[in-house]
Amino acid sequence: MREITIQDGNIEEGYIHGREGRIWYRIAGRDRTKLPMLCVHGGPGCPHDYLKPLELLSDDRPVIFYDQLGCGNSEKPDRPELWTIDYFADEINEVRSALELDEFFYFGQSWGTMVGAYYLLNRTQKGVRAAVFGGPVMRARSLADDCAVLVSKLPPEHREAIQKAEESGDYSSAAFAAAVTEFDRRHMCRLEDWLQYVIDGDRKTGWQVYNTMWGPSEFICSGNLKTFDLMPRLSEINIPVLFTCGEYDECTPATVSDYHMAVKNSKMAVLADASHMHHVEKPREYKELVSLWLGQFEKK
């Protein structure tokens, strides 16, 4: 069931009453005529806020955001057993049904690419005209390996803090926090000052979801996604896919190229002097890139 709480011009907000709780959504450009784009955030558990630059695409199509259950503006049940990729793949179907998305474009960022590709391979590709995967992760081990290489290039005090935390399992030290901050400055978002909407989203992270599925450290996957690996099946994705990453992305261009090569109907774009949040760092360039890509598949 769909509960509308705000309708103001071309903006609509509300809740989808899913089987496990209320899922918050927002539609920008709700009256636009081109095929809608459904945007799925990263994390797991990092809400939609940092995807705000994608609203630039709402000048000619509805752009739909939602916070997955457990984070952001959605309900946050205390149920760690619920946080599985199968639940979140089913949640996409709940969103599709409530918002009547028979045909749409899929956009996923980071974790949003994981659940999106899983959805395409294990639920359906029907009605998904094309997809954009930003900062993609198709294999958890690949991200951990990329992070290990990038961490090795940090200053010695940061490398040591990360090694100590991983060996002890204690991630609460100020030294580890400082190391994460430096890593993020290089490979997550290279803007000197993080924008307020990025900060706001970070404050609303669903840590139970993140810790259950990924683990307490970005650098090692110890949660239930640790064996996640779609590489053997990527050739089964038949819809067009655009893979994007930043030059300094934690999802490195070399790894993203492997994903691109595995999906026969795909394209890859690397944004210069950008990192994991390249849509935040280069919003206009990213808007043009995605708009041109989707435009090829607007009509059958």
295 to 23, 130, 255, 262, 290: CA distances (angstroms): 29, 10, 27, 23, 8
Cβ–Cβ < 8 Å for 44, 88 = yes
Q: How many CB atoms lie within 10 A of CB 8?
A: 8
Bond prior to 80 in cis (omega within 30° of 0):
no
Q: Which residues contact 60 (CB under 8 A, 6 or more apart)?
A: 29, 32, 33, 34
Element (H, E) at 205: none
110 to 170, 215, 248, 297: CA distances (angstroms): 25, 15, 14, 23
Active site residues: 110, 249, 276
The structure tokens 């989808």 sit at 16
Please give the DSSP secondary-structure letter assigned to residue 46: -
DSSP 219-230: TS--STTTT-B-
- Name the token pair of 106: 């899929």
256 in helix, strand or coil? Answer: helix
